[in-house]
Amino acid sequence: MLGTFTYCNPTKIIFGNDALDHLGGELAKYGKNVLLVYGGGSIKKNGIYEKVLSVLKAAGKEVYEDGGVMPNPTVEKLYEGCERAKAANADLILAVGGGSVCDYAKAVSVSAYCKDDPWQKYYIRFEEPDCKIIPVGCVLTMVGTGSEMNGGSVITNYAEKLKIGHVFGEQVFPKFSVLNPEFTFTLPKYQMIAGIYDIMSHILEQYFSGSDDNTSDYLSEGLLRSLIHSADIAVKNPLDYEARSNIMWTATWALNTLIAKGKTTDWEVHMLGQAVGAHTNATHGMTLSAVSMAYYRYIFNYGISKFSRYAINVWGVTAEGKTEKEIAEEGLLRMETWMKDLGLTMRLKDLGVTAKMLPDIAKSTLVMDGGYRVLDRADILAVLKASL
Ligand code: NZQ
Ligand code: ZN
């Protein structure tokens, strides 16, 4: 563990099948006006909306609604949310939904009173907020992004063909998050497995960097093994509470800053996936699964020790009589087989991408420098071509 860092995670987590019972206690800490933010309507179908509303009413809150947050929330919706938050004079933004809803709530929280254009300030210039920030709380219904316990907020600008995440500081983390694994039971299988792969990708983005002996890597391996184990159970029986609860908790720890400690971290898979998302509006986890194998096969030789360690410690590859390269390749093959068995999208063409679109997608891809190899534009195009 050779890096230097500070660590603080201010989000209070309320976890379990009775978690919503504790929402009232959290609400009491904030003023009367609550902006209730949600997505396209799943919470109205599965009854979560009614449950949350009755807690809000019992707590004596004045509820203002901002529904219709789309998957991969847009900059136009963000502008609309700012107006709603100001009109409500919101004391708290309560996000009820998945990563998109939580991300959007955070974006509104720092944008409503921002004097500048928030897209330019936060997503192009990457500046930090210098205005009043409205506190955010979450009731999570979709597992994967880790947004419930981090400062991440991803916004898509289709006109500019950019999907960009800003990782805000502690003051923007949700103040509390209600995590009831049963609230994820109604997720369609496609979303459930996309979320599972999003979790895996978050862990790998942090794991595949650096070469020091780092506790973060041991934590990552444990999280990955738990995830693989529980995913295999959940995909056969989505109502298995134990498996779904493990997946939910793994997702939170996969991206709440802990396993990044002492790491440079990579994030190139996410940059590729986000560029694909900006051109297709595809489901986030599937954009990652479609590019991952091509990317890892492109770079693994540059981080061969970590890739062979991954094969042994996560995928159970035996080392005897094999070179590091053979071990690493076997690990990647096992990973690929597992992904296919889970039902993940393995090809960009299955997300509506055509060969003609690739140069533009490559142009929208941000280049990161914390992984085992820094790609140039030609490398990025090669990875995208191999993913098609
Ligand atoms: O909109 P509704 O009707 O609620 O339907 C949603 C949506 O269609 C549905 N859903 C959610 N909970 C459900 C449910 N359907 C039935 N039952 C439930 N209980 O699922 C669909 C997807 O939801 P969404 O919130 O878009 O998914 P996810 O949680 O994967 O969030 C994706 C967004 O998060 C960003 C992504 O880029 C994307 O914009 N990310 C945020 C990160 C962060 N904050 O740190 C990191 C991630 O890497 C990621 O980039
Ligand atoms: Zn992700």
Beta-carbon contacts of residue 380 (< 8 Å; ≥ 6 apart): 272, 362, 365, 367
Q: Is 144 touching ligand 1 by the criterion CB < 6 Å?
A: yes
Burial 319-351 (b: 16+ CB within 10 A, else e): eeeeebeebbbbbbebbbeebeebbbbbebeeb
The sign of the dihedral angle between the CA atoms of 19, 25, 26, 31 is positive
153 and 262 inside one domain: no
Pocket test for ligand 1, best of 122, 156, 191 (most atoms within 8 A of CB): 191
Average confidence (pLDDT) over 327-333: 98
Residue 368 domain boundaries: 189-387
- Residue 7 falls within a domain, yes or no? no
2 occurs within a structural domain: no
Q: Tell me, in angstroms, the distance from the centre of ligand 1 to residue 320's CA.
A: 42
Q: Which ligand is nearest to the CA of 281?
A: 1
Query: How sure is the predictor about 387, in pLDDT bands with cuts at 50, 70 and 90?
Result: very high
What pLDDT does residue 2 have? 87
Residue ending a domain, among 163, 183, 203, is 183
Phi, psi dihedral angles at 313 (to 5 degrees): -80, -25
Query: Same domain, yes or no, for 88 and 197?
Result: no
Cβ neighbours, 10 Å, residue 31: 13
Ligand 1 geometric centre to CA of 102 (Å): 8
Which tokens go with 322?
Answer: 């094999």
Closest residue by CA, ligand 1 atom 41: 145
Of 287, 278, 267, nearest to 344 (Cα)? 287
Residue finishing a domain among 183, 213, 236: 183
Q: String of b and e for 70-93 (b: at least 16 CB within 10 Å)?
A: ebbbbbebbeebbebbeebebbbb
Q: What do you get for the CA distance between the two ends of the chain, in Å?
A: 38
**Most distant CA pair in the chain, distance:** 68
Domain end (from 183, 213, 243): 183
Tokens of 285: 């986890």
DSSP single-letter state for residue 211 = -
Residue 5 lies inside a defined structural domain of this protein: no
> Do residues 198 and 147 both lie within one domain?
no
- Which residue owns the Cα nearest ligand 1 atom 50? 154
Task: Give the number of other CB atoms < 10 A from CB of residue 302.
Answer: 13
Are residues 160 and 218 located together in one domain of the fold? no
pTM of the model: 0.98
CB distance 81 to ligand 1 below 6 Å? no
Shared-domain flag, residues 293 and 275: yes
Residue 89, pLDDT > 90, answer yes
87 and 223 share a domain? no
The average pLDDT across 150-157 equals 97
Do residues 228 and 315 share a domain? yes
pLDDT of residue 300: 98
> Using one digit for the tens of pLDDT, what is the confidence trace for 171-215?
999 999 999 999 999 999 999 999 999 999 999 999 999 999 999
Q: Is residue 96 lining ligand 1, measured as CB closer than 6 Å?
A: no
Do 254 and 203 form a contact (C-beta atoms < 8 A)? Answer: yes
pLDDT of residue 297: 98
**340-386 per-position pLDDT tens digit:** 999 999 999 999 999 999 999 999 999 999 999 999 999 999 999 99
Note whether 251 and 283 are same-domain residues: yes
| CB of 74 shorter than 6 A to ligand 1 | no
| Distance (Å, whole) CA 182 – CA 247 | 12
Are residues 82 and 147 located together in one domain of the fold? yes
C-alpha 343/C-alpha 323 separation (Å) is 31
Given this model, what pLDDT does residue 328 score? 98
- Residue 178, beta-bridge partner list: 14, 139
**Which conformational region is residue 202 in: left (phi greater than 0), alpha (psi within -120 to 50 degrees), or beta?**
alpha
Number of domains making up the chain: 2
Residues 46 and 145 in one domain: yes
CA angle 227, 229, 230 (to 5 degrees): 65
